[in-house]
Amino acid sequence: MVNTVDKLFDQTLPQLDPASSQAVADWPDVPFDDDLESRPPDDIEEDGVSPYRDTEIAERSFDVIGGGQPGVSPVSEEDRTLIEGGIRARGFEALAFYKSRRFQSKKPFPGKWGIFYLRQGLSQIAWEIATAYPGYKDPRKLAHEFLFAHEHLHFRADLQTLMFEAVTKKHLYLPLRNAFKGRQSHFIEEALANRQVYEWSKKASVGLREYATDFMLLQPNAYARFDEPVQDLSGEWAANVLDLQPPGCLPRYDLASWINTTPKDLLRKSLCPQYVVYPRKLSNWISPAWVPPPVNKIVDGDNLKKLLASKYQSITSKWESTKLKLIENRTLRGLNFKKWPKEGNGAYSVRIDDNFRAHLRHEGHGAWIAYVVGPHKKMGHG
């Protein structure tokens, strides 16, 4: 059955100047992402896909724990490693993605459009929430809402762009996506999508705001900009969409509020189809672009020792605790352990507490040297 959104796309797209879809952006200074293409390979639709339904997800995506009570279990160690690397390299799109109605006939899953969740992504998020907050009644539902909040912003932005296109009579969505091909993580729309997750987390349940913040700070480039002023983010998005300006451009403050003016009757959940993908192999979807190196041993460098002795004695015990956590499980959300390319190959950053971070360098074979410690801002983390 064709819904209101389907009709809107069908009415608007044929009116656009075909030549405008070939507009080219000259962005020589915008870096490309160092991971593989974010879209899955063409043959991926051999994997199973079905409409999202709460009951079906409970039966097919999650395990049952002792006593016959519905519960959640973590994904395999291999899949968890892929997920952790994917989050740091590709953000939310390692777990779920939005496919525009414009691409309905194209792969993956020709004939379908909307939000697609990877089964393992739903499972892993549900397990993390259940583990961190064991009192929550339905972590599966929270996992879905968590991913939905991000992807639904992409749906909303798609509709807003369509409205701009209806007025200008030219393609805006296609040229912009072509310009961001290979550097999607720099698109400010990802920051807006993460901001929507942050706003959802504040209302959802106590504690989820911290979980969501830790999760999003692990993500690359624009994804981690979610806490910047919303007018700046929205204005940059408008300049990207309407003027084909590059990331970091001057915001179009005159249009900054438009992304929040999409008619509410078009934003009903039922108007954006949702599916769950059941991959035969998660590696088909998440390329191992970044796998966290093992952490077997951490040695404090001379500079870090001096800083702890002279300026930051109060965090010495916390730093020792952080090192132990890294060795035990380097992917813990609260550690915010991630690459720090500003200081060269092999450099990483880890959070000690809400005020301090440390930087480490991988020496190989799980051996690390910690070379500097200090407050977040002084260490270059905003």
Domain-wise residue ranges, the chain: 4-284, 297-375
Is 297-375 assigned to CATH 3.30.2310.20?
Answer: yes
356-364 and 367-375 beta bridge pairing = antiparallel
The reported pTM is 0.84
Torsion of CA 229, 218, 187, 265, to 10 degrees: -70
Residue of 172, 176, 157, 165 lying closest to 12 (CA atoms): 165
From first to last of its 382 residues, what are the pLDDT tens digits of the chain?
568 999 999 999 999 999 999 999 989 888 887 654 444 555 566 688 999 976 555 444 444 332 223 456 778 888 888 898 889 888 999 999 999 999 999 999 999 999 999 999 999 999 988 888 887 778 889 999 999 999 999 999 999 999 999 999 999 999 999 999 988 999 999 999 999 999 999 988 767 898 999 899 889 899 999 999 999 999 999 999 999 999 999 999 999 988 888 888 999 999 999 999 999 888 888 875 567 789 999 999 999 999 999 999 999 999 999 999 999 988 887 888 988 888 998 999 999 998 999 999 999 999 999 999 999 889 988 6
Is the omega angle on the peptide bond into residue 175 within 30 degrees of 0, that is, cis? no
3-class DSSP string for 341-377: HHHCCCEEEEECCCCEEEEEEEEECCEEEEEEEEECC
Kindly provide the b/e burial profile for residues 301-314, where b requires at least 16 CB atoms within 10 angstroms of the residue's own CB. Answer: beebeebbeeebee
Q: Which amino acid is at 133?
A: Y
- pLDDT for the residue numbered 16: 97
Look up tokens 């700070």; give the residue.
217
